[in-house]
């Protein structure tokens, strides 16, 4: 049966106190709504319909690359009204999963369970039983069977004691949605069209209402303010950290680890505290990441050791390299095996060959460095003339003396040596020493200037 996914995202999110629409607030680096869309895609939804209201332009722009049907709910007249406005575009057959844009962590597993449970009955919902369900719609059962959902504000004292509540996640046959939604009324405590009233309609039609509980409670947690957002972020991070540890990653402290994207990790990867992984990253076997590193869209091959406070963005790092502390690898940095990059070394759009080293205070931008070369402390590739960028090419087994400036475009050939402190503007041939600095000048018995008397 084909599955439509309907996502409610018209709420204003006033309590966030933000210019950014609530469903665009990030959780683990991805907008809340992005998490829901991602899960919908995993379920191979035939269509994803998102109901927007506030900040519609911004929200649609953020997901312009996704295949989504956008439906506007200009006035927020209730959850039932929200789903009703989708009817003109909603498939006539199949089943809809109804989700909330501000309940980002609902899992594919739970939704699959819900779909399975609802196939026979035509309607099912995700419920959760907690100690205190204040504020939520309560699940009213008779002989174990769901009879209705009663909103907190409409509930009697007796009903308010019910601990099982409606999480706002449903699976409903599209034929039934087309039949039931036009019949909703707003005759209730809040004067809203309640989606929850379809449960009573199903019972009146002689249907049974299926229910499932989520695998993990945080899956059904909604976000209304920044306190809840931060709390959910931690729960989600703990969950991800646990999964990584179960796959064999050694996190020194899972409470001080953040994954904002995906991490593919080999065996015996060790990650020290306060590391942030963003985008899509890969760490090979036995990679060690020191404290405080930020690693984004980067691949680091087996055996590499990264010392604390190093930052990576879109870099590719070979095996058994040594990086940091305080190294910065920027987009296009490509390190071969056994490379050493040390403190305060910045590498951008440059390839560094097998076994080459740049251990201290260096900028390598738009450079190609061969194998076995040593880049001395304080070397700068001067790649930019204020208007254009140029390349520096350094061959194999070259030695660049400390504090040299290599003014690109320039080529330092294999085996060449550059004397410390040189400003190199012309190519250096193979096995040649190039020195560019004035001869040392000496004046004996030199008197330094004296302070003038006032």
Q: Which residues bind ligand UD1 (CB under 6 A)?
A: 8, 10-11, 51, 73, 76-79, 81-82, 100-102, 136-137, 149, 151, 165-168, 194-196, 222
Please report how close the Cβ of residue 136 comes to ligand UD1 at its closest, in angstroms: 4
Q: Is 308 exposed, middle or buried (0-12, 13-18, 19+ CB in 10 A)?
A: middle
Contacts of 296 (CB under 8 A, 6+ apart): 261, 277, 278, 279, 281, 312, 313, 314
Which CB atom, from 165 or from 361, has the smaller least distance to ligand UD1?
165
Query: What is the number of helices (H) and of strands (E) in the chain?
Result: 8, 37
Which CB atom, from 170 or from 361, has the smaller least distance to ligand UD1?
170
Contact by Cβ (8 Å): 76, 38? no
Which CB atom, from 149 or from 345, has the smaller least distance to ligand UD1?
149
Which CB atom, from 10 or from 244, has the smaller least distance to ligand UD1?
10
Catalytic residue among 54, 65, 360, 411: 360
Please report how close the Cβ of residue 333 comes to ligand UD1 at its closest, in angstroms: 42
Please report how close the Cβ of residue 167 comes to ligand UD1 at its closest, in angstroms: 6
Both structure tokens of 192: 């809203």
Distances (CA, A) of 225 to 23, 245, 293: 11, 30, 29
SS (H, E, C) 148-176: EEECHHHCCHHHHCCCEEEEEEEEEEHHH
Which CB atom, from 167 or from 310, has the smaller least distance to ligand UD1?
167
Contact by Cβ (8 Å): 289, 305? no
54: annotated active-site residue: no
Which CB atom, from 152 or from 178, has the smaller least distance to ligand UD1?
152
Please report how close the Cβ of residue 150 comes to ligand UD1 at its closest, in angstroms: 8
Q: How far apart are CA 326 and CA 44, in angstroms?
A: 43
Contact by Cβ (8 Å): 25, 31? yes
Other C-beta atoms within 10 Å of 239: how many? 16
Contacts of 349 (CB under 8 A, 6+ apart): 330, 331, 332, 333, 365, 366
Please report how close the Cβ of residue 107 comes to ligand UD1 at its closest, in angstroms: 17
Please report how close the Cβ of residue 29 comes to ligand UD1 at its closest, in angstroms: 21
Q: What are phi and psi of 40, to 5 degrees?
A: -60, -40
Both structure tokens of 374: 């040593």
Contact by Cβ (8 Å): 235, 218? yes
User: What residues are annotated to the active site?
Assistant: 360
């Amino acid at each position: 049966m084909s599955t439509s996914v309907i996502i409610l995202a018209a709420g204003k999110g006033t309590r966030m106190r933000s210019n950014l629409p609530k469903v665009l607030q990030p959780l683990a680096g991805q907008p809340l709504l992005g998490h829901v869309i991602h899960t919908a895609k995993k379920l191979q939804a035939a269509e994803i319909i998102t109901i927007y209201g506030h900040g519609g332009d911004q929200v649609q722009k953020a997901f312009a690359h996704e295949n989504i049907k956008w439906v506007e709910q200009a006035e927020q007249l209730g959850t039932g009204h929200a789903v009703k406005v989708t009817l003109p575009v909603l498939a006539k057959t199949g089943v809809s999963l109804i989700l909330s844009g501000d309940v980002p962590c609902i899992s594919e597993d739970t939704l699959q369970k819900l779909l399975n449970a609802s196939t026979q009955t035509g309607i099912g919902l995700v419920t959760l039983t907690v100690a205190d369900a204040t504020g939520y719609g309560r699940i009213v059962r008779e002989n174990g069977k769901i009879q209705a959902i009663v909103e907190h504000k409409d509930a009697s004292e007796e009903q308010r004691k019910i601990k099982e509540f409606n999480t706002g996640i449903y699976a409903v046959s599209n034929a039934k949605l087309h039949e039931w939604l036009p019949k909703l009324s707003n005759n209730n405590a809040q004067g809203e069209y309640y989606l929850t009233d379809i449960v009573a309609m199903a019972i009146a039609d002689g249907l049974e209402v299926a229910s499932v509980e989520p695998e993990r409670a945080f899956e059904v947690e909604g976000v209304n303010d920044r306190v809840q957002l931060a709390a959910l972020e931690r729960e989600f991070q703990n969950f991800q950290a646990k999964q990584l540890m179960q796959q064999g990653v050694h996190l020194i402290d899972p409470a001080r680890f953040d994954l904002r994207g995906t991490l593919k990790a080999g065996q015996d990867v060790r990650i020290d505290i306060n590391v942030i992984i963003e985008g899509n990253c890969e760490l090979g076997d036995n990679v060690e990441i020191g404290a405080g590193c930020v690693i984004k869209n980067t691949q680091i091959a087996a055996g590499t050791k990264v010392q604390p406070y190093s930052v990576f963005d879109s870099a590719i790092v070979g095996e058994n390299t040594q990086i940091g502390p305080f190294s910065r690898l920027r987009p296009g940095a490509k390190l071969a095996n056994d490379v050493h990059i040390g403190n305060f070394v910045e590498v951008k759009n440059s390839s560094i060959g097998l076994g080459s080293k740049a251990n201290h205070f260096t900028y390598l931008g738009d450079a190609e460095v061969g194998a076995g070369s040593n880049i001395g402390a304080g070397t700068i590739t001067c790649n930019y003339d204020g208007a254009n960028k140029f390349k520096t090419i350094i061959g194999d087994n070259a030695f660049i003396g400390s504090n040299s400036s290599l003014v690109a475009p320039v080529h330092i050939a294999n085996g060449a040596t550059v004397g410390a402190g040189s400003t190199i503007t012309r190519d250096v041939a193979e096995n040649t020493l190039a020195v560019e600095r004035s001869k040392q000048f000496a004046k004996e018995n030199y008197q330094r200037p004296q302070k003038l008397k006032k």
